[in-house]
Amino acid sequence: MPEQALSARLMLDAMAEFDRVVAALPAPGRGGPIGRLNAGAYTLMHVAFTADYLLRFTTKSELDPFIQGNAGPGADPAKPPPFAEALAALDAVNARLRAYLEGVDAAENARQPEDLPGFYGGATVEYIIASAAAHTLVHAGELATLASLVGAPDLQLPGAMPHTRGEDGPSQPAEGTA
């Protein structure tokens, strides 16, 4: 079997880091918005929206109506679904995304999907996945900030990134290389 592409491994790490932050988010962060930050549930829906579209662009799968209704155009960030429902939607789309990422190799990475929106015009699967990984890590940082504001310790993002570095790589950057 061909080696899994680095972009897919990076996305798997981004998803794992996002999941780690969600698990550490104290109850107050699972409620409504705090200050100008989005409610935690809306951030979950937004990340689910990103995963849903990544699959749409790369596999032509159907978009999830619940995700689209709660994070797509016209959704109100001030009125997200309950946290548990948002988490269930994220978990469901991420299960489908993980299954897809397991098969992403160099050939799939180089493919240019058809019918991409203008902002992705000519992009490869590699670019789409890497962009989604960066986007997911940004929102992991958003939730880590929210967690910190409600009493959680610093979550040390991005963490070990085991998929990206490989199982035999160092768990942290070497001193002076970060």
For residue 35, tell me if it sits in a domain.
yes
For residue 10, tell me if it sits in a domain.
yes
For residue 48, tell me if it sits in a domain.
yes
**Total of domains in the chain:** 1
For residue 177, tell me if it sits in a domain.
no
Tens digit of each residue's pLDDT (9 = 90 or more) over 22-65:
999 999 999 888 888 889 999 999 999 999 999 999 999 999 99
For residue 133, tell me if it sits in a domain.
yes
For residue 178, tell me if it sits in a domain.
no
Tens digit of each residue's pLDDT (9 = 90 or more) over 102-116:
999 999 999 999 888
Tens digit of each residue's pLDDT (9 = 90 or more) over 120-135:
888 999 999 999 999 9
With a CB cutoff of 8 Å and minimum separation 6, the contacts of 103 are: none
Range of the domain at 69: 6-162
- What CATH number is given to the structural domain containing 140? 1.20.120.450
Residue 148 half-sphere exposure, CB side, CA atoms within 13 Å?
A: 11
* 162, containing H or E segment: helix 162-165
For residue 116, tell me if it sits in a domain.
yes
Tens digit of each residue's pLDDT (9 = 90 or more) over 137-167:
999 999 999 999 999 999 999 988 999 988 6
In the predicted structure, residue 171 carries a pLDDT above the cut 50: no
For residue 173, tell me if it sits in a domain.
no
